[in-house]
């Protein structure tokens, strides 16, 4: 069973929010994505920053899982996706989306430092 979308909004933040895809902050005054979903009888909100939304990170991660992850995807799956994409992506565009995600997520592993030019 997949989460069912109830509503999609693009409000302007009045307070600080946390992106559920990358963990980054959404500042007051910034527009962001807020979806309301239902899964297993529970209603919840999914908040995404403009960068993750415009890069379609959630869609990329879901495709990377092969659609088998019924409960949806989150920051842990995105981290695995981004690291795999840096190493194995067939296109530079997809690799660049993964690099941007890793920078937003402030990953400091050796692979990320090298990919972002900060390694020795």
Give yes or no for residue 65 having a pLDDT over 90. Answer: no
Mean pLDDT of 4-32: 94
How high is the pLDDT of residue 7?
96
pLDDT band at 75, cuts 50/70/90? Answer: confident
How high is the pLDDT of residue 18?
93
- What's the Cα-to-Cα distance from 86 to each of 11, 39, 65, 91, 98, rounded to whole Å? 32, 31, 16, 10, 6
How high is the pLDDT of residue 119?
46
Q: What is the tens place of the pLDDT at every residue in 80-120? A: 999 999 888 889 999 999 988 988 887 777 766 665 565 44
H/E element, 49? none
How high is the pLDDT of residue 82?
92
pLDDT, averaged across the chain: 86
Residue with the larger pLDDT of the pair 71 and 22 = 22
Residues 80 and 25: beta-carbon distance below 8 Å = no
């Amino acid at each position: 069973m997949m989460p069912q979308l109830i509503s999609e909004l693009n409000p302007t933040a009045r307070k600080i929010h946390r992106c559920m895809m990358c963990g980054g902050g959404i500042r007051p005054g910034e527009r962001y994505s807020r979806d309301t979903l239902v899964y297993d009888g529970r209603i919840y909100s999914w908040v995404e920053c403009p960068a993750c939304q415009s890069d379609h990170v959630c869609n990329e991660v879901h495709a990377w899982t092969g659609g088998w992850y019924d409960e949806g995807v989150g920051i842990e799956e995105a981290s695995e996706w981004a690291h795999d994409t840096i190493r194995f992506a067939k296109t530079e565009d997809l690799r660049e989306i993964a690099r941007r995600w890793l920078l937003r997520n402030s990953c400091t592993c050796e692979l990320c430092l090298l990919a972002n030019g900060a390694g020795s």
